[in-house]
Structure 1
Amino acid sequence: MNERSLIQQGQSAVRVESGPGTPDEEAAACTRIVPVVLAGGSGTRLWPMSREHFPKQLIGVVGSDTLLQATVHRLDGFAPEWQVASAPIVVCGEEHRFVIVEQLRACGMDARLVVEPARRDTAPALTLGAALACANGDDAILVVMPSDHAIADVSALQRALECAARHAQRGAIVTLGVPPRSPETGFGYIRIGEALADGAHRIDGFVEKPAPELATQYVTQGGYWWNSGIFVMRASVWLDALRVLQPDMHEACLAAFVDGQHDGAVFRPAVEAFKGTPADSIDYAVMERLSASNGWAPEGVVVALDAGWSDLGSWDAVWAAMEKDEAGNVGRGRVVFEGAVATYAHSDGRLVACVGTSNLVVVETADAVLVADRSKVQDVKGLVARIKAQHAPEADSHRKVQRPWGFYDSIDQGERFQVKRIVVTPGARLSLQLHHHRAEHWTVVRGTALVTRGEESFLLTENESTYIPLGVRHRLENPGKVPLEIIEVQSGAYLGEDDIVRIDDTYGRCG
């Protein structure tokens, strides 16, 4: 049986032809839960820590773990009557795949990765995850979580998810709503409807991010909850709802999945088919259409989430989510406060001293420093757009750039030269490559390097060096047991990272 048939078999397992919410014995028997983590975002509001090529889900802003690492462990110790899959499905982009694999490995988590060839928002991402969950003809309850949110009380989250999973068993699509603590204008709202027996509610509607006066009204009158972006549903129910409500997206995603390729724990959808799918969010594509749809559609249910949830959508939100000193200050890294009040300060390396500051955000990284009024942090997104328009590298990348073989740190640069510190993990190697516009000089400062240069291969040890002429094929490998560290001096007319012609690559980056 081919993959399309298996997926359709999973879909039909719980299709309810007579209307939403109709009981089904097979649906009620399902206790298998598969976490689906959406990790394809590229937020800019937490610049300069979050960048296009290293977004906020990959950094640690509220704890020792990164936001991604915290997310994949949120179902650890879930109620034993539910069978939680040991390997979650993580949907991400190609540019973040290797960092995500390393972070998951570091926190002891195996995962199945779906690598999107293009960004198409959350609805297609979830559809690929649902198709993977149905690909063996099975069906499961999906717990869909953004990878860049913070949850203070994981036990409270799990209790809400248990309630949501029971409604998902019977065919509902469930979202978690956060009872509002203040009239926030940066969140969408869910209008709650009829109360159900267990404290959940039917969804009465969705409201866009409101103006301040309307947000105040929502909080005052009640009946409106923040939209957390966490969803629970059976994989087959999502696919059926999408087939009815968004047939073009359903067909394009299914074609991309069926014609995709599996490489161990990594799945790559077919590129052209996936690029043909409409881009849309889970809310717009399906959730807002449940009550207004014609014909069959599942029931929409919302469960209250009172667990210290934050989407960390700004530096002010990060400040609000963290423990503060007696003056309301939050410091991370090498930070000193003197007479400061309600200030957030973060240091990636250098000492940051805040004297007499009030309601400020100060974020230091190796190549950029942000100083902002806490009431104006939503304007950081526009600031980054201006930096990007100037073609400044700080909008997209950090000075230290992660690679599947290790990392490099751009130490210095000037007209016709650039100096990098390159660290290669034991057993790893760079691609076999050449450059049309630059030559390179390598000096080993730690470890042992195996160098391929043209037709020759040789070893270099500490304090030894070699020269790579322009246009010559070359490769750097670490055959040793300790990290290999070299200083690379590039010289030439053009030193951009796109002047790399890969001839052979262990990590599938050729072309």
Structure 2
Amino acid sequence: MILPVILAGGSGTRLWPLSRALYPKQLISLVDRHTMLQNTILRLDGLDGAQHPMVICNDEYRFMVAEQLRQIDIRADSIILEPVGRNTAPALAVAAIRALEKGDDPVLLILPADHHIQFTDRFQHILKAGVEHALAGRLITFGIIPQKPETGYGYIKMGAPLPSTTSDPSCVTIAAFVEKPDHETAKRYVASKDYCWNSGMFMFKASRVLEEMQAFVPDMVAACRLAITAGKSDLDFFRLDEAAFSACPSDSIDYAVMEKTDNGAMLPMAAGWNDLGSWEALWQVGEKDEQDNVVKGDVVLQDVGDSYLHAESRLLAAVGLKDHIVVETSDAVMISPRDRVQDVKGLVDRLKSGNREETRTHKRSYRPWGTVDQLVAGNRFQVNRITVKPGGALSLQKHFNRSEHWIVVRGSALVTRADDQFVLKEDSSAYISAGVAHRLENPGKIPLELIEVQTGGYIGDDDIDRLEDIYGRHRKAE
């Protein structure tokens, strides 16, 4: 049995302004209509022995992760919520402990949720080869056969070949892990054909990796066990105990185990892998027009070549550009030469130092019941477009500093206002005074869309006092 463990907790800053702290790249559709998380799971379809995935993410992503799994009809084995980030080793310890608690000892397949793989058939072929070695007690990592010198990845030096009974005898021992090199060193690595890129994908039996972690990082294992024992189920999620997990040492599985164990092995992989860690990477994998441009959204070009142009919310028009990245969202525009995209991280750091909200969230925010799009904001007012999915319900809540006016534009709304309950149809409206308990629900079979006008002295999201909530959220807004 193969238990896929999907690591979905990271936040990519190099793909700003699309990727943000509360809406990272693994939850975004970057290559096709599916998100990176969805594609990570969908490419396992047809893999012999693969079970429902275990997903590990942070608390802020939980409802988006659950909704994206629902959209592709995937039922998770479990969704485990990390209260704080502690790198990959504690996450894998938690996955192994939870898997063994169920009485099984599956082969864990560890996959970051933000990788792109072009050739699924080759990918699955290599995974099948890895199972044999994992069942024999090996700790497998998958190395990417490099196509060019790359300074943004760590490297793994290949050791001696390992015997295999499968048709793919390419599994080798690990001679060394190497930090990210400079360009000249990377050129030597690629020319030697003795090195692979470190992909961050792994495969091993749950009991085997836990044995190794117990030997090398026993304090980490103990903290993870305590975080599970003191954790609790919450709807479809399992929350690790915050105090115990916060006390857990932070480390990667590479440093904690793979660089120390005598049982590590590597399977080289050539399956069109890309971690999509920059806008340049998206240009590389994107479908190009006759001028080698990758274009997304409403874009009109004149004399533009070798560029990536992405429009989210309005017309993007460009003249005379070459080798550039232009990305437009409803609240930000980012422009960079293609050879400077690694500097986007520094740009985001500068924005963070100025406490710019654009680094954290988009104008569209995702809730367990649907979405909120901020349309206009001004002094003492804000206008939102609210979409509530069928069966969705906002919390029963009240605000102390603002009033709300709802106008239904599509679908029907069941409104609770103090002791009254009534249905609003299209082109009808309701007014909610400050201090009045209220709830909005969608009893229909199509999405409910409405315009919300908020007015008052303070309209921040923290002016929400939740009285009841079917999604188990805290009394104050989250």
Same fold (TM over 0.5): yes
Which amino acid in 1 is paired with 2:219?
D
Aligned to 2:23: 54
Give runs of aligned pairs for residues 250-399 of structure 1, distance below 5 A.
250-263=221-234, 265-291=236-262, 299-399=263-363
Which amino acid in 2 is paired with 1:215?
A
Aligned to 2:453: 489
Aligned to 1:173: 139
SS in 2 for 1:289: coil
The structure 1 residue matched to 2:174, chosen from 196, 199, 203, is 203
Query: Deviation at 1:323?
Result: 2.7
Which amino acid in 1 is paired with 2:328?
E
- Say if 2:396 and 2:468, in contact at 8 Å, map to a contact too: yes
Aligned to 1:476: 440
SS in 1 for 2:423: strand
Q: Which runs of 5+ in 2 are unaligned?
A: 164-168
- Say if 1:433 and 1:500, in contact at 8 Å, map to a contact too: yes
Query: Deviation at 1:222?
Result: 2.9
1:407 aligns with 2:371: yes
Q: 1:322-358, CA deviations, whole angstroms, 9 ceiling, x for partnerless residues?
A: 2323332111222233322210111223232332211
Which amino acid in 1 is paired with 2:243?
E
Distance 1:378 1:235 in 2: 36
Change (3 A) 1:279 1:494: farther
SS in 2 for 1:84: coil
Distance 1:314 1:128 in 2: 30
SS in 2 for 1:411: strand
- Say if 1:504 and 1:510, in contact at 8 Å, map to a contact too: no
SS in 2 for 1:380: helix
Which amino acid in 1 is paired with 2:162?
L
1:184 aligns with 2:153: no
Aligned to 1:71: 40
Q: 1:125-155, CA deviations, whole angstroms, 9 ceiling, x for partnerless residues?
A: 2222222211122101011100000001111
Distance 1:215 1:436 in 2: 60
1:110 aligns with 2:75: yes
Q: Bigger CA drift: 369-378 or 342-351?
A: 342-351
Q: 1:177-216, CA deviations, whole angstroms, 9 ceiling, x for partnerless residues?
A: 0111111111111111122232211111111111222212
Aligned to 2:166: none
Aligned to 1:150: 116
Give runs of aligned pairs for residues 28-107 of structure 1, distance below 5 A.
32-78=1-47, 82-85=48-51, 87-107=52-72
SS in 2 for 1:384: helix
Q: 1:286-341, CA deviations, whole angstroms, 9 ceiling, x for partnerless residues?
A: 212225xxxxxxx0101101011001000001111123233321112222333222
Query: Deviation at 1:240?
Result: 1.2
Query: Deviation at 1:263?
Result: 4.7
Distance 1:103 1:94 in 2: 15
Distance 1:424 1:326 in 2: 41
Q: Bigger CA drift: 300-309 or 414-423?
A: 414-423
* TM-score, scaled relative to structure 2: 0.94
SS in 2 for 1:134: helix
SS in 2 for 1:412: strand
Q: Bigger CA drift: 477-486 or 61-70?
A: 477-486
Distance 2:89 2:201 in 1: 13
Distance 2:234 2:372 in 1: 27
Aligned to 1:435: 399
Distance 2:318 2:206 in 1: 50
Q: 1:408-448, CA deviations, whole angstroms, 9 ceiling, x for partnerless residues?
A: 11000111211111111122110112223322222222222
Which amino acid in 1 is paired with 2:44?
L
Distance 2:443 2:129 in 1: 52
Moved over 6 A (4+): none
Give runs of aligned pairs for residues 211-230 of structure 1, distance below 5 A.
211-230=182-201
Distance 1:286 1:426 in 2: 46
Q: Bigger CA drift: 210-219 or 178-187?
A: 210-219
SS in 1 for 2:259: helix
Alignment size in residue pairs = 469
1:238 aligns with 2:196: no
Query: Deviation at 1:265?
Result: 4.4
- Say if 2:234 and 2:472, in contact at 8 Å, map to a contact too: no
Which amino acid in 1 is paired with 2:71?
A
- Say if 1:503 and 1:510, in contact at 8 Å, map to a contact too: no
SS in 2 for 1:286: helix
Distance 2:387 2:161 in 1: 57
Q: Bigger CA drift: 147-156 or 326-335?
A: 326-335
Q: Which runs of 5+ in 1 are unaligned?
A: 1-31, 292-298
Which amino acid in 2 is paired with 1:108?
D
Which amino acid in 1 is paired with 2:70?
R
Distance 1:462 1:167 in 2: 61
Query: Deviation at 1:458?
Result: 2.7
SS in 2 for 1:83: coil
- Say if 2:235 and 2:471, in contact at 8 Å, map to a contact too: no
Query: Deviation at 1:164?
Result: 1.5
SS in 2 for 1:331: strand
Distance 2:440 2:352 in 1: 32
Change (3 A) 1:331 1:479: same
Instruction: Calculate the aligned-residue CA RMSD, in Å.
Output: 1.6
Distance 1:452 1:389 in 2: 42
- Say if 2:235 and 2:472, in contact at 8 Å, map to a contact too: no
Distance 2:405 2:234 in 1: 36
Change (3 A) 1:507 1:321: same
